[in-house]
């Protein structure tokens, strides 16, 4: 049954698979751009990814305005200002972010600065009303969540706007297969948490669900093999696609309790948010299973396919979906402990995290945050 | 007067909650394995306190250990160590202080003191050989360190006191003894959370005598001879104090300038030890006893004041672009009164200046201007206005307002006044040091930049060199003797002294760790052996140092520390400096790999089981 009303927006075009990089010139030209600023990190540059990207642009009319290979993990005002200046000095007209995490966050922030012609700190208070400069993301498989969503993180700010979606997401196995198992696990868990939280909301949104379900399907199918062998081409492409779909679903839903808590904890502990999400998700799902509404049975359809879904009695579907999801989380066991205690997070810190989360996102009460944290810490 | 031969092997445990105390024996085996001071303090903490506790909870303990040397007449040994869980870093916090409390505690018959629980109302303790008196400290609450110390003078020969910063739980509040401090890691806040304003030790009740006076005296005399022969200890530090480092750091490009954006400055000479010695007509004002005599006081604006140490001058001076020693002394005096760690206070203010410049926050603070700094220090101590946020240090500030790339701390502890981009060994040392960005973990900047014994920009041999110095430093801080004696004990023996630098440098760089095996540091264990009557060879002593360091690391890993935390602020990894034409940054990953290998840690920075077993550390 179609819901009474819902909204959905997914702006980016996804080019995925064989020779996806070679699509970039065409995509840039159709966005009316010719001179991109390419941003990447030292690590990816050393692995030769920037060379691979440049090679893909050889026989085209694209001129690289500047190649910045030293993007740090932290999107600071200093680096954003520096790169914005570089963009202007070189007369660039678009941005390509080669990598996830800091690279993508910095690229989005630079895009805001150069498009809105203002200072990065002013951006927090400005409502973006028109499209920004063309932007392409070429993600690696170390997604931290939000890179391909309608959100930008910089310094300690978080800005949401429909115009913050990248224009094109280029997912190519020559790029994605370089992450390690731990990074793949983190990416998958982030996508899993975002997808589940996006389709677990009270107001149903069938199109958003479709995106979330696609993410779940990819993760269930490919996670195990990709964690074992991160260079597995199809697997790494599938995980990044899952991240892209989950990010879109995440952009069209309110932020969930797992996401908010994981961000707060990651900020304080230097841990990867995906790892924390994986732990929290296990207890969030267990909780959800026993509450009214519970886990949506359709998740089983996404995870296990039509045959299993049809075979499972209606009453059992929630529980079976839960088991499938836990199975996904368990796949990352080698890299992600089962409890927050296992991450050596001291118990006395939980209160502070619950308080910070409640200030950040008022949708849940401090007690609700605390309850989930306690469970995840103790493993109950 | 009664006598203690060697050590008394007992510590006094005070429970503030129940106002009771008891004697706890120290096992002979533990003394041998952990030497005393910091080592034994850590071992006691490890055995008694579970991981994951809140530093401000009743469960946290504050342990003071005096070490073996104090009271025996060993040179520069008027020191004691303290161990607690730091509220600033959430990790093990350790400190060394040259104030009179250590001597007083030891000569009251106690090797150490353990404080646990929490007093119901402000309290101070008076410790003597007979036990502990719990006294009402309401009249002292809200008073500064100097006033309280003065008022307590009659109650004993040494005191530990906190100021208003400790009472208000400023995360980097220190503990004062005389004019020396347990400066780092926020130990003052821990005492404040326990409602403990001061601890006085009566002292002068026992005489401390070595078990083997002949052996001890021989080693002691030789150490003194080396101290009086070494250029740094007998001339540089004795004449100009630690501020002799200003010109050396400036020339070597490691003096922090403008929140660590630069490494040298044309006006640095104005705040150098040489300049201050002349301008303020300085006289000795040192830890007691001391043979190096690095501490000085001088006539500043008609007042006799303690001359600020190098770390204070570097962080409050060049790092804020203030080159007026009188202004720096004013800041130092205020921090002394309120009980604030000068390094953390100044680096936090530098963060605020840069964050203001970048528009992240609004304050009246500006680089190069001493205006508003005194007010800010007061606001921090009393947690007033924005001072409440500043009182939490740069890590928490940057989590709230942004600016993590220029929040100059490691694991939450603000960095001391040496820029790691000018000495990569120091960079590695800062990144992996147990208590955070601590310069005393190795003081490798001296080896690399001041003494030119190791190429500061070479990746070769850095891992094993840092591991070796950490071991020796841990052992020194457990004996317990001043770290500055290392200049004399390590550099004066024949092999090091008479090998020309052009040979020594490549030997240490390329033949490390073999080269370190030839370093003769036997004087320290010989003195220890002379006092305790136990056998202690040089290699056994270094191994004890390693055991202490690894135990501390292991305790920190139980609090969540791993490779992800062994890092430096982004500034040092990505931004070059004008003073370095090559714009070098720190290649940290490679340095850390070699260090973990030398240490016996796994790739994630966790001590391997076999490393713990080899060092006789029981895993918990
Ligand atoms: S050399 Fe300086 S720090 Fe060391 S004991 Fe003497 S006065 Fe104290």
Question: Tens of pLDDT along B382-433?
Answer: 999 999 999 999 999 999 999 999 999 999 999 999 999 999 999 999 999 9
Under DSSP, the state recorded for B606 is P
Verify that A170 and A210 share a domain, yes or no.
no
pLDDT digits (tens, 9 = 90+) for A41-74: 999 999 999 999 999 998 899 999 999 999 999 9
Q: Probe ligand 1: pick from B78, B242, B282, B295, max atoms within 8 Å of CB?
A: B295
Q: Indicate the CATH number of B2-209 among 3.60.9.10, 3.40.50.300, 3.40.50.1000, 3.40.605.10.
A: 3.60.9.10
Say yes or no: CB of residue B295 within 6 Å of ligand 1: yes
Residues near B400 by beta carbon (within 8 Å), at least 6 away in sequence: A156, B389
Residue B511 above 70 pLDDT? Answer: no
Say yes or no: CB of residue B80 within 6 Å of ligand 1: no
pLDDT given for residue A202 in this prediction = 67
C-alpha triplet B222, B224, B228: angle, nearest 5°: 120
β-bridge pairing B131-136 and B92-97: unpaired
Domain ranges across chain B: 2-209, 243-414, 420-614
For residues B419 and B430, what is the distance between their CA atoms, to the nearest angstrom? 10
Verify that A339 and A354 share a domain, yes or no.
yes
Verify that A186 and A323 share a domain, yes or no.
yes
Q: Probe ligand 1: pick from B292, B311, B473, max atoms within 8 Å of CB?
A: B292
pLDDT digits (tens, 9 = 90+) for B26-50: 999 999 999 999 999 999 999 999 9
> Could you tell me the two tokens for B436?
């955070």
Q: Of A246, A245, A133, A127, which is closest to residue A194 (Cα–Cα)?
A: A246
Confidence of residue B453 (pLDDT cuts 50, 70, 90): confident
Assign residue A336 the CATH number of its domain: 1.20.1090.10
Q: Of A202, A156, A376, A371, which is closest to residue A275 (Cα–Cα)?
A: A376
Q: A97 phi and psi, to 5 degrees? A: -100, 115
pLDDT digits (tens, 9 = 90+) for B563-576: 999 999 999 999 99
pLDDT digits (tens, 9 = 90+) for B308-324: 999 999 999 999 999 99
Confidence of residue B498 (pLDDT cuts 50, 70, 90): low
* Residue A2 belongs to some domain of the structure: no
The 10 Å Cβ neighbour count of residue A39 is 27
Q: Of B616, B609, B556, B335, which is closest to residue B432 (Cα–Cα)?
A: B556
Hey, is the C-beta of B404 within 8 angstroms of any chain A C-beta?
Answer: yes
Helices vs strands, H then E, count in chain A:
16, 8
Hey, is the C-beta of B401 within 8 angstroms of any chain A C-beta?
Answer: yes
Say yes or no: CB of residue B482 within 6 Å of ligand 1: yes
For residues B312 and A260, what is the distance between their CA atoms, to the nearest angstrom? 40
> Could you tell me the two tokens for A200?
């677990």
For residues B572 and B493, what is the distance between their CA atoms, to the nearest angstrom? 36
The 10 Å Cβ neighbour count of residue B286 is 21
Contact B35, B479 (CB under 8 A): yes
Percent of chain B that is helix, strand, coil (3-state, to 5):
45, 15, 40
What rounded mean pLDDT belongs to chain B?
95
Give the residue from chain B lying closest to A340, CA to CA. Answer: B560
Say yes or no: CB of residue B287 within 6 Å of ligand 1: yes
* Residue A94 belongs to some domain of the structure: yes
Please list, residue by residue across A240-274, b when 16 or more beta carbons sit within 10 angstroms of its beta carbon and e when fewer do.
Answer: bbbbbbbbbbbbbbebbbbbbbbbbbbbbbebbbb
Domain tally, chain A = 2
Confidence of residue B301 (pLDDT cuts 50, 70, 90): confident
Contact B253, B580 (CB under 8 A): yes
For residues B600 and B608, what is the distance between their CA atoms, to the nearest angstrom? 6
Verify that A216 and A167 share a domain, yes or no.
no
Q: B3 phi and psi, to 5 degrees? A: -120, 145
The residue out of A132, A153, A176 marking a domain boundary is A176
Place of tokens 């935390």: B565
Probe site for chain A from B49, B52, B607 (most A CB atoms < 10 A):
B52
Hey, is the C-beta of B583 within 8 angstroms of any chain A C-beta?
Answer: no
Say yes or no: CB of residue B484 within 6 Å of ligand 1: yes
Q: B451 phi and psi, to 5 degrees? A: -100, -10
Instruction: Classify residue A270 as left (phi > 0), alpha (psi -120 to 50) or beta.
Output: left
Place of tokens 């995906």: A274
For residues A164 and A133, what is the distance between their CA atoms, to the nearest angstrom? 10
Q: CB–CB of B358 and A77 under 8 A?
A: yes
For residues B236 and A165, what is the distance between their CA atoms, to the nearest angstrom? 61
Residue B508 above 90 pLDDT? Answer: no
The residue out of A131, A150, A176 marking a domain boundary is A176
Verify that A242 and A325 share a domain, yes or no.
yes
Contact B479, B223 (CB under 8 A): no
Verify that A254 and A167 share a domain, yes or no.
no
Distance from CA of B620 to the nearest CA of A (A): 13
pLDDT given for residue B373 in this prediction = 98
Residue B562 above 70 pLDDT? Answer: yes
* Residue A4 belongs to some domain of the structure: no
The 10 Å Cβ neighbour count of residue A85 is 13
Closest ligand 1 atom, residue B292 Cα: 1
Verify that A186 and A51 share a domain, yes or no.
no
Verify that A205 and A165 share a domain, yes or no.
no
Assign residue A152 the CATH number of its domain: 3.40.50.1970
How far does residue B293's CA lie from ligand 1's centre (Å)?
6
For residues B149 and B158, what is the distance between their CA atoms, to the nearest angstrom? 9
ipTM for the assembly: 0.88
Closest ligand 1 atom, residue B233 Cα: 1
Verify that A163 and A188 share a domain, yes or no.
no
Please report the DSSP string for A293-307 in residue order: T-S-THHHHHHHHHH
DSSP collapsed to 3 states, B102-123 = HHHHHCCCCCEEEEECCCCCCE
For residues B472 and B484, what is the distance between their CA atoms, to the nearest angstrom? 12
Verify that A142 and A195 share a domain, yes or no.
no
CA-CA distances (angstroms) from residue B508 to A166, B26, B419, B460, B522? 52, 38, 22, 9, 19
Q: Probe ligand 1: pick from B97, B100, B293, max atoms within 8 Å of CB?
A: B293
For residues A356 and A269, what is the distance between their CA atoms, to the nearest angstrom? 14
Topology of domain B243-414 in CATH is 1.10.569
Q: Using CA positions, which residue lies closest to atom 7 of ligand 1?
A: B286
Instruction: Tell me which residues of chain A have a pLDDT lower than 50.
Output: none
C-alpha dihedral (A109, A115, A121, A125), degrees to nearest 10:
-110
Probe site for chain A from B556, B570, B577 (most A CB atoms < 10 A):
B570
Contact B390, B414 (CB under 8 A): no
Domain, as residue range, for A224 = 182-378
* Residue A3 belongs to some domain of the structure: no
Give the residue from chain A lying closest to B55, CA to CA. Answer: A348
Q: What is the pTM for the complete model shown?
A: 0.93
Q: CB–CB of B402 and A343 under 8 A?
A: no
Q: CB–CB of A155 and B564 under 8 A?
A: no
CB < 8 Å to A78, chain B:
358, 405-406, 575
* Residue A200 belongs to some domain of the structure: yes
Strand partners, B132: B127
Residue B513 above 80 pLDDT? Answer: no
Verify that A231 and A334 share a domain, yes or no.
yes
The residue out of A143, A176, A209 marking a domain boundary is A176
Say yes or no: CB of residue B98 within 6 Å of ligand 1: yes
Hey, is the C-beta of A269 within 8 angstroms of any chain B C-beta?
Answer: yes
CATH of domain B420-614: 1.10.599.10
Please list, residue by residue across B463-478, b when 16 or more beta carbons sit within 10 angstroms of its beta carbon and e when fewer do.
Answer: bbbbbbbbbbbbbbbb
Confidence of residue B490 (pLDDT cuts 50, 70, 90): confident
For residues B142 and B589, what is the distance between their CA atoms, to the nearest angstrom? 46
Hey, is the C-beta of A343 within 8 angstroms of any chain B C-beta?
Answer: yes
């Amino acid at each position: 049954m179609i819901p009474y009303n819902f909204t959905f927006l997914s702006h980016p075009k996804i080019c995925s698979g064989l020779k996806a990089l070679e699509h970039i010139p065409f995509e840039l030209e159709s966005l009316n751009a010719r001179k991109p600023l390419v941003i990447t990190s030292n690590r990816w540059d050393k692995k030769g990814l920037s060379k691979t990207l440049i090679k893909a642009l050889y026989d085209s009319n694209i001129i690289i305005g500047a190649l910045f290979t030293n993007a740090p993990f932290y999107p600071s005002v200093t680096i954003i200002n520096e790169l914005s200046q570089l963009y202007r000095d070189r007369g660039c007209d678009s941005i390509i972010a080669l990598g996830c995490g800091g690279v993508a966050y910095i690229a989005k922030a630079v895009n805001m600065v150069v498009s809105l012609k203002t200072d990065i700190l002013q951006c927090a208070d400005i409502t973006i009303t028109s499209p920004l400069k063309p932007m392409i993301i070429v993600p690696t498989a170390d997604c931290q969540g939000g890179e391909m969503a309608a959100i930008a993180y910089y310094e300690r700010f978080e800005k949401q706007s429909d115009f913050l979606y990248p224009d094109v997401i280029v997912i190519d196995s020559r790029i994605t297969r370089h992450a390690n198992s731990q990074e793949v696990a983190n990416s998958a868990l982030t996508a899993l948490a975002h997808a589940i939280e996006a389709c677990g909301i009270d107001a149903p949104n069938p199109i958003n669900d479709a995106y979330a379900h696609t993410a779940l399907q990819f993760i269930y199918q490919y996670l195990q093999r990709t964690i074992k062998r991160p260079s597995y081409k199809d697997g790494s492409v599938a995980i990044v696609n899952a991240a892209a779909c989950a990010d879109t679903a995440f952009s069209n839903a309110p932020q969930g309790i797992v996401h908010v808590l994981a961000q707060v904890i990651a900020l304080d502990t230097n841990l990867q948010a995906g790892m924390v999400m994986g732990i929290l998700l296990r207890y969030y799902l267990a909780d959800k299973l026993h509450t009214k509404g519970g886990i949506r049975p359709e998740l089983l359809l996404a995870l296990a396919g039509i045959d299993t879904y049809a075979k499972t009695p209606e009453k059992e579907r929630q529980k079976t979906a839960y088991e499938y999801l836990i199975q996904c989380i368990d796949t990352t066991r080698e890299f992600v402990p089962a409890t927050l205690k296992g991450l050596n997070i001291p118990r006395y810190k939980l209160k502070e995290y619950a308080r910070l989360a409640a200030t950040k996102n008022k949708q849940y009460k401090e007690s609700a945050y605390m309850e989930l944290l306690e469970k995840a810490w103790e493993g109950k | 007067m009664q006598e203690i031969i060697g050590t008394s092997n007992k510590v006094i445990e005070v429970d503030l909650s129940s106002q009771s105390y008891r004697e706890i024996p120290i096992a002979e085996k533990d003394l041998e394995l952990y030497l005393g001071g910091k080592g034994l303090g850590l071992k006691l903490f490890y055995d008694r306190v579970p991981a994951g506790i809140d530093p401000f909870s009743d469960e946290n303990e504050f342990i003071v250990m005096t070490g073996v040397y104090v009271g025996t007449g060993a040179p520069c040994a008027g020191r004691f160590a303290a161990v607690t869980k730091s509220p600033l870093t959430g990790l093990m916090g350790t400190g060394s202080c040259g104030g009179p409390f250590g001597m007083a505690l030891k000569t009251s018959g106690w090797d150490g003191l353990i404080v646990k629980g929490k007093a119901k109302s402000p309290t101070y303790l008076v410790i003597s050989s007979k036990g502990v008196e719990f006294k009402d400290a309401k009249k002292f609450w809200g008073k500064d360190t100097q006033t309280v110390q003065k008022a307590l003078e009659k109650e004993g020969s040494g005191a530990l006191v906190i100021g208003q910063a400790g009472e208000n739980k400023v995360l980097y509040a220190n503990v004062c003894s005389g004019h020396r401090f347990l400066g780092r890691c926020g130990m003052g806040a821990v005492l404040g959370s326990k409602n403990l304003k001061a601890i006085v030790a009566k002292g002068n009740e026992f005489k401390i005598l070595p078990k083997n006076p002949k052996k001890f005296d021989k080693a002691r005399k030789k150490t003194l001879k080396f101290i009086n022969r070494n250029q740094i200890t007998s001339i540089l530090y004795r004449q100009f104090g630690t501020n002799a480092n200003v010109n050396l750091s400036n020339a070597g490009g490691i003096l922090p300038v403008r929140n660590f954006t630069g490494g040298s400055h044309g006006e640095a000479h104005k705040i150098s030890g040489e300049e201050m010695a002349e301008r303020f007509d300085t006289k000795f004002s040192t830890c007691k006893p001391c043979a190096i005599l690095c501490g000085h006081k001088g006539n500043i604006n008609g007042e006799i004041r303690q001359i600020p140490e190098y770390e204070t001058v570097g962080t409050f001076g060049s790092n804020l672009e203030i080159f007026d020693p009188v202004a720096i002394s004013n800041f130092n005096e205020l921090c002394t009164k309120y009980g604030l760690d000068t390094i953390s206070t100044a680096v936090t203010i530098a963060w605020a200046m840069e964050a203001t410049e970048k528009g992240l926050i609004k304050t009246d603070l500006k680089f190069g201007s001493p205006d508003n700094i005194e007010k800010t220090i007061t606001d921090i101590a009393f947690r007033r206005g924005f001072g409440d946020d500043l009182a939490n240090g740069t890590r928490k500030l940057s989590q709230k307002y942004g600016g993590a790339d220029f929040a100059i701390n490691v694991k939450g502890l603000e960095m001391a006044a040496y820029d790691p981009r000018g000495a990569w060994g120091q960079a590695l040392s800062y990144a992996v040091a147990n208590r955070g960005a601590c310069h005393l973990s190795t003081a490798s900047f001296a080896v690399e930049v001041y003494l030119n014994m190791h190429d500061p920009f070479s990746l070769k041999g850095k891992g094993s060199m840092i591991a070796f110095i950490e071991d020796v430093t841990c052992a020194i801080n457990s004996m317990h003797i001043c770290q500055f004696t290392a200049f004399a004990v390590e550099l004066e023996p024949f092999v090091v002294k008479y090998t020309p630098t052009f040979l020594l440098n490549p030997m240490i760089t390329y033949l490390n760790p073999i080269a370190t095996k030839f370093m003769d540091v036997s004087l320290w264990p010989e003195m220890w052996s002379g006092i305790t009557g136990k056998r202690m060879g040089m290699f056994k002593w270094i191994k004890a140092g390693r055991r202490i360091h690894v135990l501390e690391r292991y305790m920190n890993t139980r609090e969540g520390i791993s490779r992800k935390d062994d890092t430096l602020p982004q500034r040092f990894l990505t931004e070059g400096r004008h003073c370095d034409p090559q714009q070098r940054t720190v290649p940290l990953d490679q340095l850390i790999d070699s260090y973990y290998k030398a240490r016996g840690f796994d790739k994630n920075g966790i001590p391997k089981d076999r490393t713990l077993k080899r060092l006789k550390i029981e895993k918990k």
